[in-house]
């Protein structure tokens, strides 16, 4: 059994931090570094092997929603990012490995060239500890919401995503 698993207070600390982070709600909106643009759309299409002519005329495939707000190679999440905050809590308790488990996305409409995308993130849930084939861990689910300014200037939701990962202690890890 790992040291983290043997620590009976670890679960209480983890769940207390999860409740605290969940109570904070959504992190402040983070704006994409670039507006939706055709060159990035073209690169995405090429990488995905998508030849649909619709995406050559000023619209972005809905599955690109997350692309606009990725941090980039040198980017770092903001200090108030709930997913990264919860992952740090688990790392500090000895849950050092990560496995992506699933992602549920909903697209409300396509994005158009020139739109400036923003995203918020909230911690949706932390469930565990669970024993899995990979080891003991916690399932951490975050909720992202992407916005643009609508025709009336009000924020318009264009996409949402639930992202779930398993943060775990690998089987056979030293105690």
pLDDT tens-place values along the chain, 175 residues long: 455 555 779 999 999 999 999 999 999 899 999 999 999 999 999 999 999 999 999 999 998 999 999 988 888 888 889 999 999 999 999 999 999 889 999 999 999 999 999 999 999 999 999 999 889 999 999 999 999 998 898 999 999 999 999 999 998 875 5
- In degrees rounded to 5, what are phi and psi of residue 87? -65, -35
- At residue 141, the 3 state secondary structure works out as strand
> What is the token pair recorded at 23?
């109570």
Cis status of the peptide bond prior to 129, with omega within 30 of 0: yes
Q: How many angstroms separate the first and last alpha carbons of the chain? A: 6
What is the C-alpha to C-alpha distance for residues 60 and 67, in angstroms, rounded to an integer?
10
Secondary structure percentages of the chain, helix, strand, coil, to 5: 30, 35, 35
- Answer yes or no: pTM beyond 0.75: yes
The CA distance from 15 to 32, in Å, is 32
- All domains in the chain, ordered by first residue: 3-170 (3.10.129.10)
- Rounded Cα gap, residues 82 and 143, in angstroms: 10
């Amino acid at each position: 059994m790992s040291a983290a698993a043997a620590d009976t207070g670890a679960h209480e600390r983890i769940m207390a931090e999860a409740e605290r982070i969940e109570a904070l709600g959504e992190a402040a909106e983070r704006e994409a570094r670039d507006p939706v643009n055709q060159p990035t759309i073209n690169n995405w299409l090429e990488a995905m092997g998508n030849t649909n002519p619709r995406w050559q005329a000023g619209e972005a495939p809905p599955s690109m929603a997350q692309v606009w707000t990725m941090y980039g190679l040198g980017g770092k999440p903001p200090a108030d990012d709930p997913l990264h905050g919860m992952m740090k809590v688990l790392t500090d308790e000895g849950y050092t490995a990560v496995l992506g488990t699933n992602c549920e996305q909903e697209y409300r409409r396509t994005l158009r060239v020139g739109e400036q995308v923003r995203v918020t993130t909230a911690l949706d849930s932390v469930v565990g500890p669970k024993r899995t084939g990979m080891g003991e861990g916690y399932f951490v689910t975050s909720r992202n919401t992407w916005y643009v300014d609508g025709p009336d200037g009000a924020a318009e939701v264009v996409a949402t995503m639930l992202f779930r990962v398993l943060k775990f202690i690998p089987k056979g890890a030293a105690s």
